Amino acid sequence: MADDAKKKEIFEKLRNGVIQYDEDACREGAQEALDAGLDANEAIFDGLVSGMEEVGRLFEAQEYFVPEILMCADALYAGLDILKPHCKQMDLGVKGSVVIGTVEGDVHDIGKNLVKMMFDVAGFNVYDLGRDVPLDKFVEEQLKTDSELVCLSAMMTTSMVGMPKVIEKIKEKNPDCMIMIGGAPTSKELADKWGADGYAEDASNALKEAIKMVAFLKKLRDEKLKK
């Protein structure tokens, strides 16, 4: 096993690799973590996700904008692709599968992809339907996969209005399924009115919401480890 200093150094490399959108550093850091026999889950959360949390903060402070976030996401994936096959199944008491996509009439998927990334990180099974997805497809896919979460994204007002139909149909068949809506035109009021369980108005908020959720999972994991 690597000593603590070595471990810290590797996690720091992963974290900074994400923050400085350095894909090579993330790849190297991930490989070093594996070579040193570190826990892959830990490397993901304390390295990559920790970096992404800082990116979220930089975005809020308007030091980073969307291009930077996209590059940070690429760096995170570069590390994640190496670490993920070595992850132990996280036993968190949730099954963790999610159906995600941009609704029909909308071809924007940046926010959706950022949220997807955080689900990937958290070890969810992600069923990504892509963009411009016919509304019934969400309902079908939810039923087929029995996912406990469905995320609907739309960037344009002109496509958002399809959302309530999907929510209604899913809730009718499976009232326990949680639904998160996201995109510039969405709001808490609309989420409430349409019966969605959560919302995020833009990519950064979506990222924040997803980080919050993943951080919560991490807390659960840490508590479990302590026991």
**Interaction between residue 157 and other proteins (CB under 8 A):** yes
What tokens were used for 173? 């068949």
**Interaction between residue 162 and other proteins (CB under 8 A):** yes
Angle separating helix axes 66-83 and 50-60, nearest 10 degrees: 170
Among residues 81, 95, 107, 219, which is the contact residue for other proteins, using CB under 8 A? 107
Cβ-based neighbours of 201, under 8 Å, separated by 6 or more:
182, 183, 184, 186, 187
CB of residue 114 to other proteins, shortest distance in Å: 11
What tokens were used for 41? 């889950």
CB of residue 129 to other proteins, shortest distance in Å: 16
**Interaction between residue 58 and other proteins (CB under 8 A):** no
Task: Count other Cβ atoms within 10 Å, centred on residue 16.
Answer: 18
Binding window for other proteins (CB under 8 A); candidates: 48-56, 85-93, 118-126, 182-190: 182-190
Residue type, 3: D
**Interaction between residue 24 and other proteins (CB under 8 A):** no
Q: List the x/- string, 113-142, binding to other proteins by CB under 8 A.
A: x------------------x----------
| Nearer CB in complex with other proteins: 155/179 | 155
CA 129/CA 118 separation, integer angstroms: 16
| Nearer CB in complex with other proteins: 57/86 | 57
**Interaction between residue 158 and other proteins (CB under 8 A):** yes
**Interaction between residue 105 and other proteins (CB under 8 A):** yes
| Nearer CB in complex with other proteins: 109/209 | 109
- Count of residues that bind other proteins according to CB under 8 A: 31
**Interaction between residue 109 and other proteins (CB under 8 A):** yes
**Interaction between residue 85 and other proteins (CB under 8 A):** no
**Interaction between residue 66 and other proteins (CB under 8 A):** yes
**Interaction between residue 209 and other proteins (CB under 8 A):** no
- Would you tell me which residues interact with other proteins (CB under 8 A)? 62, 65-68, 70-71, 74, 104-110, 113, 132, 156-162, 184-185, 187, 189-190, 193, 202
